[in-house]
Amino acid sequence: MNIPCLVPTCVNTIVDDAQVCAGCASRLTSALRSVHDGPEGPGLASDLEVSLSRRHRTGPGNMGRRSTEAPLPYDARSAEALAVLRNTLTTWCRLLHEEIGGRLPEDTPSAMAAWLSRFTDWLRRSDFGAECVDEIIAAVEQAERAIDLPEKRVLAGLCPGCGLPCYARHDASRARCGSCETELSVREGRERLFRTAEGHLLTAAEAARALGLLGHEVTAAAIRGLARRGRLHPGGTGSAGRPLYTLGDVLEACLDSEDVA
């Protein structure tokens, strides 16, 4: 009997005895390979280091005009993405090492990603494999956004006409459904969506992704930090004993904290 893949963002089914579908395992392998340096050139971690030092520009230029703002000594967006990526890889290397033993890799994102990529098939069958896939892919996607700076689009809500998700620019007040052309208010759409989902139990990575779609920028690492400082309390426990939080509690803690942007 086919069972659903346990990765929160996946809708595929699994035909063997694993916890994670082959497609998500392949996505994890590709994400990890994109991080570490290889024969084809520097990986994502090295690109972040370059972006941090501002040795190259990202995003649109200013057509030769001088900026009225003093330049930052480093790229804050890349700094946060690199920290999240490093912390995520460190967490999963240590957790996997506790299960399989052996020798830990060097404490660099490139080395840790290369080491983890050797065990994607093992992770497919692990009780915490789905969370590993979800967190690592989320961290890699954040790193890619920090470098590429694409136009940010957030979830505006579900279309009142056809029920499909609608997306809008982060600063837009209204959105238009790409399927049936129905317009909706971004604020009202998000509020309805949040009321539906606020009691759901999520991992820190899942909550960060959900809040990001709703227009609130917060990382999984920041959510875990709020929990360590007693500002957020778990509402349950997931696989491998990892804490779960209600989406409403996470949002309230983030909005009340001066430490989370």
Enter the pTM of the model.
Answer: 0.54
pLDDT digits 0-9 by tens, 19-53: 888 888 888 988 898 888 766 567 788 887 777 76
Max intra-chain CA distance, the chain: 63
**Helix or strand run (H / E) with residue 157:** strand 153-158
CA angle, 36 as apex, 33 and 41 as ends, to 5°? 95
Q: Minimal CA–CA distance to 187: which of 200, 199, 170, 202?
A: 170
With a cut of 70, say whether residue 14 has pLDDT above it: yes
Q: pLDDT tens across 171-180, in order?
A: 788 888 777 8
Looking at residue 104, its amino acid is L
Tokens of 143: 């790193």
CA nearest neighbour of 141 among 208, 187, 74: 208
Tens of pLDDT, residue by residue over 204-260, are 887 887 777 666 778 887 888 888 888 889 888 876 677 888 888 887 887 776 444
Amino acid at 71: P
Distance between CA atoms of residues 43 and 53, nearest Å: 16
Of 73-82, 95-104, 194-203, 240-249, which has the strongest mean pLDDT? Answer: 95-104
- Cβ–Cβ < 8 Å for 110, 33: no
* Residue 93 vs residue 147, higher pLDDT: 93
| pLDDT level of residue 197 (50, 70, 90 thresholds) | low
The residue length of the chain stands at 261
Rounded to 10 deg, the angle between the 109-116 and 44-52 helix axes is: 160
| Residues 109, 31: Cα–Cα separation, whole Å | 12
Query: Which of 9-23, 88-102, 107-121, 209-223 has the least mean pLDDT?
Result: 209-223
Identify any residues that bridge with 38 across adjacent strands, giving them in sequence order: 41
| Planar angle of CA 184, 186, 191, nearest 5 degrees | 105
Kindly tell me the sign of the dihedral angle through the C-alpha atoms of 91, 88, 242, 123: negative
